[in-house]
Amino acid sequence: MWIELIVAFIVWTLIVIVLKKRGILGRFGVRSYGPVILCPIFRNIPAPKKVRFGRLSIIFFALTMAFYLLLIFGGSYIFPLPSAPFHHVTKITPVRDLFLIPSLNEFIPLWFGWIGLLVAFFVHEFGHAFASEGKTKALGIVLAPVPVGAFVDVDEETDEDRSRFNRAKLISAGVVANLLVAFLTFFIFFGPVLGGLEVTGKVGVDYVVPGSQAEKAGIVNGMIVTRIDDMTLDNSSQLLGYAKNVSNINLTVVNDGKIENKRLTTGKEKGILIVDTIPPYPARYAGLKRGMRITRIENNSVDTLSQFMDYMDTTHPGQMISIGIRNNGTDSNITLVLANPPENMSKGWLGIVVSEDILGFSALEVDGNNFLDTFRNIVFKPGGIKYLLIAPMAGLIDLPGFSGFNGILKNLFQPAGILNFAGGWYLSLADILFWIGWMNIQLALFNSLPIYKLDGGLFLKEALDYFCGKWGLDKNISLTIVKFITIVVIGYLVYMII
């Protein structure tokens, strides 16, 4: 992957150089600096009226910087995350997920992520342009080749001609604009938008066995099963209990926001299905995976869930057992040592989730109303802002993660009442609002950091210059302090990542 990206970047750079030499970029008002090009989108925006909220903007920026530094250096103590049933990392996050770039970060959806990021770029630069009180000659996007920022060209005084107050006001305006947009979009998202949703059902499709009757019937992961024949489903036990007594069933499901009917034949293969494995327990380390089947434990055949549970109730932690596994039609044996269970129980623990697999898929119970209530309320709890900043990745620490209405959430919710006509467009609007708010707050907080050349670093230098001048100190001291703080902040961030 990295080789392809490097080759693509080299090709992009060569194309930019050729277009610049031939004057094609200049013909459209596009500037380039090596592989980076500045593409104007809006031109000749009139100057705003005199900005009256400069002092408030400066105070707000200073509070934002202080808050983010407290969050970084003392977040675990000052802003602890809301409690969760389990609080451990369940997945190692690749380095690419540290960059909040759609298509690179696996937790950020491609299109909605880019919409949110581009809006945040433009809002930030427009905030600077608005605070400059000059005519905006051009407002555009910076490409290299993916969007990496935005820019603004304004008819304005030079920095030397501005008062220190006006320079501080100009520096703080971008962050303040991002925060205002974030607050507005989150207010709409967590208020009327989430309030306008209703739940479609209570049973979801978690895993479809390859080659099963369910797969042939068109059952896919993430569907919501609302009815089996004429019975409305309230839990997965109803689904399995009913299916045991019949040979053919008709399922009513929600798929991509649409109601569909699926007809399938019940029945099962030998053994019980492994639906999932849980780290850091023996099953995962022994190589057991979702889709495999347990056919035997020691010399005992396993065909039902009760047989499996009855045998496991006789085991104890530290006991070595042999398990018969069927994977893609091939039988094998695996020997492993049972672990201590996560709760106060005396039996041994494999660390797996299993199903009898009567339908050719495993079902799970989903409580949509509880999810919505938890998601809405968690933001207003102590540490809620910290949760919001990691919401797309929160599932890694067993908090209700949210990266938009995709997967099972896309089928679990629909607009309620008179809003029902909007269908999937309503959920798309909700996704856009969430990602605009999330990207704006991320960009605002990042730029508020007191790092050299960021808004926070420029703001801190202006403040230090003021005190140096007041106390008769050399102004070069302020730049030295900013660079030192930059090293400390970046060093601590790298330390946390490593």
133 token code pair: 């009180």
Q: Do 307 and 424 belong together in one domain?
A: no
Q: Do 323 and 406 belong together in one domain?
A: no
Ramachandran assignment for 385, one of left (phi > 0), alpha (psi -120 to 50 degrees), beta (any other): alpha
**Rounded to an integer, what distance in angstroms lies between the CA atom of residue 283 and that of residue 335?**
10
- How high is the pLDDT of residue 89? 39
Q: Do 372 and 338 belong together in one domain?
A: no
Q: Do 64 and 124 belong together in one domain?
A: yes
Q: Do 417 and 428 belong together in one domain?
A: yes
Domain-located, residue 474:
no
Which amino acid would we find at residue 167? R
**Rounded to an integer, what distance in angstroms lies between the CA atom of residue 181 and that of residue 441?**
8
Domain-located, residue 482:
no
Q: Give whole-number Cα distances, 56 to 51, 53, 63, 173, 446, in Å.
A: 11, 5, 11, 10, 20
Domain-located, residue 228:
yes
Q: Do 96 and 210 belong together in one domain?
A: no
Domain boundary among 448, 465, 488: 448
**Rounded to an integer, what distance in angstroms lies between the CA atom of residue 104 and that of residue 94?**
10
Q: Do 113 and 92 belong together in one domain?
A: yes
R_g (Cα) of the chain, nearest Å: 28
Domain-located, residue 483:
no
Taking only the tens place, the pLDDT of each residue in 334-376 is 999 998 887 777 788 898 888 877 788 888 888 888 888 888 8
**Rounded to an integer, what distance in angstroms lies between the CA atom of residue 175 and that of residue 120?**
10
- How high is the pLDDT of residue 34? 85
Domain boundary among 365, 383, 400: 365
- How high is the pLDDT of residue 77? 55
Contact (Cβ atoms closer than 8 angstroms) between residue 209 and residue 217: no
Q: Do 112 and 213 belong together in one domain?
A: no
DSSP 357-394: -SSSEEEEE--HHHHHHHHHHHTTSTTHHHHHHTGGGG
**Rounded to an integer, what distance in angstroms lies between the CA atom of residue 475 and that of residue 9?**
41
Q: Do 231 and 283 belong together in one domain?
A: yes
Domain-located, residue 476:
no
- 278: containing domain: 202-365
Residues ≥6 apart with Cβ < 8 Å to 460: 65, 450, 481, 482, 485
Find, among 157, 174, 170, 155, the residue nearest to 44 by Cα: 155
23 token code pair: 């004057």
Residues ≥6 apart with Cβ < 8 Å to 217: 262, 263, 264
Q: Do 260 and 409 belong together in one domain?
A: no
- How high is the pLDDT of residue 397? 66
Domain count, the chain: 3
Q: Do 236 and 123 belong together in one domain?
A: no
143 token code pair: 């490409």
CATH (domain of 227): 2.30.42.10
**Rounded to an integer, what distance in angstroms lies between the CA atom of residue 61 and that of residue 174?**
9
**Rounded to an integer, what distance in angstroms lies between the CA atom of residue 253 and that of residue 235?**
14
Domain-located, residue 485:
no
Domain boundary among 333, 365, 397: 365
Domain-located, residue 444:
yes
- How high is the pLDDT of residue 434? 95
Q: Give whole-number Cα distances, 247 to 263, 357, 447, in Å.
A: 11, 14, 62
Q: Do 405 and 423 belong together in one domain?
A: yes
Intervals of the chain under pLDDT 70: 1-2, 47-53, 75-99, 154-162, 268, 382, 395-400, 497-498
Domain-located, residue 460:
no
- How high is the pLDDT of residue 155? 64
pTM of the model: 0.80
**DSSP class of 109:** -
Contact (Cβ atoms closer than 8 angstroms) between residue 308 and residue 272: yes
CB environment 271-289: b (16+ within 10 A), e (fewer): bbbbbbbeeebbbbebebe
